[in-house]
Structure 1
Amino acid sequence: MLIETLQLLYQQGWLTSIFKGSVVTILLGLLGMLLGILVAVPLAITRWRRIPFLSQGVDAFTGVIRSVPGLLVIYLLFFGSVEMVDRVGEFFGFRDGLRSAYSFIMGTISIGAISAAYSIEVLRGALQAIVPGVIEAARALGFTRLTTYRRVIAPLMFRYALGGLNNVWQMTIKDTSLVSVVGLQELMRVSAIAAGITHSPLLFYMIAGFVFLFITWSSQRVFNVLERSLNRGFRR
């Protein structure tokens, strides 16, 4: 039984395919999380500052994205833009190249949108946790508004938000499995194809589960290091 399993994984090349799918999953999660944070930071500050109209728009965005299934968000963004992207690619003469990368691009945008909606709430809560006296002290020292954000608010915001962002990352890396519905060859898609061809679903889905477990375990270790680094010099 063990020999047959090894032959199935090595000789038929499924182990290599699973490795490539895992790389796609990690890249998709990292890029989606990065995009989500880049979008979330200014929008979280907008909500925190209660800027008229803009903060209501941000609230509507987070409310809608967090209220519907992630799979529906992917469907809407993917199938809602495919015709427009085809027209743009045809106009500029790179339709085929854009089509080949379309699944990954829209998958990243979809995961980024979901990640951003949750990150906004995490960062807004972190901003509200900052003691107002700290900001007032920075202003009393003559810091400009930009310097105050860069040297005082941003470091404290990420320190308070790290635990929540850890949860968002764990959710994001698991949400990458949803992108398999648009044909992207990530870990779950490769595992499903392998399970169908070899008629060994338990084997390949268990492998996929262990890979996700390893990714999330490794990520937790990284966040633990970051937490110790950011808490250095602060009283527990």
Structure 2
Amino acid sequence: MTLDLFGFGPALLAGAAMTIKLALSALSLGLVLGLLGALAKTSPYKPLQWLGGSYSTLVRGVPELLWVLLIYFGTVSLMRSLADLLGVVSLELSPFAAGTIALGLCFGAYATEVFRGAILAIPKGHREAGQALGLSKPRILWRLILPQMWRIALPGLGNLFMILMKDTALVSVIGLEEIMRRSQIAVTASKEPFTFFLVAAFIYLSLTILAMIGLHLLEKRASRGFLRAAA
């Protein structure tokens, strides 16, 4: 028995490629924002603590779909005003860029808490040892804190990436042709919703399994040199 995709197979594969591209772009932005947020929240300076806490609380308190809509339609109005000011004919933010910003912003807010927990899990004696060796604060952060933080935070970041992979479906509402958007187009043309939504589910499941394998390899590599406690 063969599955009839009515010629939409290549389109669905193109949608899967767009989903991967969007997820990796949002991941890159989110990791940077999450690390900056965690460093701000663990900083001894109150203004930075307030800034990091406000970012994490504000972004996590609003649904991801609303962030996608707010960033896309909000920037459309802003870009139009800026284009009129500069005398440019057309200036707009693409659905891909808006989706990357929105999902990266949301991923970064949750990653802030993961990184913060990982930083606090590192014994203070490690920082003191670095200071005793005459290392500067940036060098202590780069050589001592970040490598250990990465190992501790990786499982939590992996779970967040799984969620991010599925949240890419939200960007279909602003016209980005990822898996869900391509599936909806195929459903409209073929009148076969079950078939194409089932295929979409299979593609998401396949991407998730591949991501799990990659994360397992990363965790294994990050744990080299560390003895696991016996169960």
Check conservation: 2:40, 2:51, Cα contact below 8 A.
no
Matched, 1:207 2:219: no
Q: Secondary structure at the match of 1:214?
A: helix
217, 222, 226: which one aligns with 1:234? 226
The one-character-per-residue Cα deviations of 1:128-166 (angstroms, maximum 9, x if unpaired) are: 000111111111111111111111111011111001100
- Matched AA of 1:107: G
5+ residue gaps in structure 1? none
5+ residue gaps in structure 2? none
* Larger helix proportion of the pair: 1
52, 57, 68: which one aligns with 2:62? 68
TM-score scaled by length of structure 2: 0.93
Check conservation: 2:34, 2:111, Cα contact below 8 A.
yes
The equivalent of 2:72 in structure 1 is: 78
Check conservation: 2:33, 2:109, Cα contact below 8 A.
no
Aligned CA distance change for structure 1 residues 48 and 222 (closer, same or farther; 3 Å) = same
Q: Secondary structure at the match of 2:94?
A: helix
101, 106, 116: which one aligns with 1:114? 106
Q: Give the RMSD, CA atoms, in angstroms.
A: 1.6
24, 27, 32: which one aligns with 1:30? 24
178, 203, 212: which one aligns with 1:186? 178
Q: Secondary structure at the match of 2:26?
A: helix
- Matched AA of 1:232: R
Matched, 1:40 2:34: yes
7, 14, 19: which one aligns with 1:13? 7
The equivalent of 1:219 in structure 2 is: 211
Separation in 1, partners of 2:80, 2:17: 27
TM-score scaled by length of structure 1: 0.91
Matched, 1:156 2:148: yes
The equivalent of 2:46 in structure 1 is: 52
